């Protein structure tokens, strides 16, 4: 199961056998007034620097979300995608719930993009899956539908199977999908973490799917969030998550991912882990 994404100058292959691919989450104005202001004013230098910083911290795919208050996504999203794609050359994850804005961005995005995202809701699948097929994009698929997010992993798995069936009807393959098993804050529900991990294990073990998730959601409302995030992410990687959406510059995050890959047998001769260690020592 190989999902190939292409940027202006680089290509990324996501598969259960390969090391974890990092999707950088930082270009998202939610809770970031400075970034929201920059997006609304089309201050593209801010986006360029954020994208470059994330690639420098280990991101191989950059998520672009311009959903700031007052921003016209149909105009701003394609412009932002072009700016970021030209700045870093990496594959772009186009993040919007607006099909019109998504299509405008897909038209100008070089290479092969990743759409973030569809759900198992009929309205969402009808809008997003044909777009992915038309523009040759891959899609993040969230394991919930009209009934909401189930606390039962088997029900989330059933939603995933429904999305796979609809994707085939739209002309897509399983390798065109990255499933998100959905992580909710453990601070508001003690089984939220385990439900996500169990769903990931089902999707990986039964179907061999490639998986993503927004790792930082797990720690919302808690102190020392990076400790929870990094621990959860290591568990998620063991359960099959291989393309998480994270802040690549978060404290200890890259080291945690490299260690998890090492233990999971995705780092022959420990070379990626050792190379990162040597590089970090040289920067000190």
Average pLDDT in the 140-168 region? Answer: 98
Greatest pairwise CA separation for the chain in angstroms: 53
Q: Could you give the percent of the chain with pLDDT greater than 70?
A: 100
User: Before 117, cis peptide (omega within 30)?
Assistant: yes
| Strands of the 177-180 sheet, one edge to the other | 210-211, 177-180, 138-142, 114-118, 92-95, 61-64, 23-27, 245-246
What's the mean pLDDT in 62-78? 92
pLDDT of residue 284: 66
Q: Which CATH class is domain 3-283?
A: alpha beta
pLDDT (tens digit, 9 = 90+) per residue, 40-68?
999 999 999 999 999 999 999 999 999 98
Output the pLDDT for position 282.
79
Query: Could you tell me the pTM of the whole model?
Result: 0.96
Q: State the burial class of residue 228 (Cβ atoms within 10 Å of its Cβ: 0-12, 13-18, 19+).
A: buried
> Which residues, other chains included, contact 125 with Cβ-Cβ below 8 Å and sequence gap of 6+?
118, 119, 163, 166, 167, 170
Distance CA 13, CA 103 (A): 23
Q: What is the pLDDT of residue 175?
A: 97
Give the per-residue pLDDT at 92.
98
Confidence band, pLDDT 50/70/90 cuts, at residue 201: very high
The pLDDT, as a whole number, for residue 126 is 97
């Amino acid at each position: 199961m190989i999902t190939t994404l292409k940027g202006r100058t680089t290509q990324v292959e996501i598969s259960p056998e390969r090391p974890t691919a990092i999707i950088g989450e930082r270009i998202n104005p939610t809770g970031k007034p400075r970034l929201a202001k920059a997006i609304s004013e089309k201050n593209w230098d801010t986006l360029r620097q954020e994208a470059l910083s994330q690639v420098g911290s280990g991101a191989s795919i950059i998520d672009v979300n311009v959903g700031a208050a007052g921003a016209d996504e149909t105009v701003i999203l394609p412009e932002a995608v072009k700016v970021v794609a030209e700045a870093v050359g990496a594959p772009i994850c186009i993040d919007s719930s607006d099909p019109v804005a998504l299509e405008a961005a897909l038209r100008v995005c070089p290479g092969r993009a990743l759409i973030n995202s569809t759900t198992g809701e009929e309205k969402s699948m009808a809008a997003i899956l044909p777009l992915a097929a038309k523009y040759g994009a891959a899609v993040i698929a969230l394991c919930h539908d009209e009934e909401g997010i189930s606390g039962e992993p088997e029900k989330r798995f059933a939603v995933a199977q429904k999305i796979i069936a609809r994707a085939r009807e739209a002309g897509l393959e399983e390798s065109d999908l990255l499933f998100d098993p959905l992580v909710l804050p453990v601070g508001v529900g003690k089984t939220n973490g385990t439900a996500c991990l169990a769903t990931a294990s089902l999707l990986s073990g039964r179907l061999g799917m490639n998986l993503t998730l927004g790792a930082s959601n797990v720690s919302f409302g808690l102190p020392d969030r990076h400790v929870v995030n990094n621990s959860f992410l290591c568990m998620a990687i063991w359960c099959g998550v291989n393309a998480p959406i994270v802040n690549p510059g978060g404290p200890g995050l890259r080291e945690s991912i490299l260690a998890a890959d090492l233990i999971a047998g995705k780092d022959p001769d420990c070379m990626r882990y050792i190379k990162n260690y040597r590089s970090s020592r040289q920067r000190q």
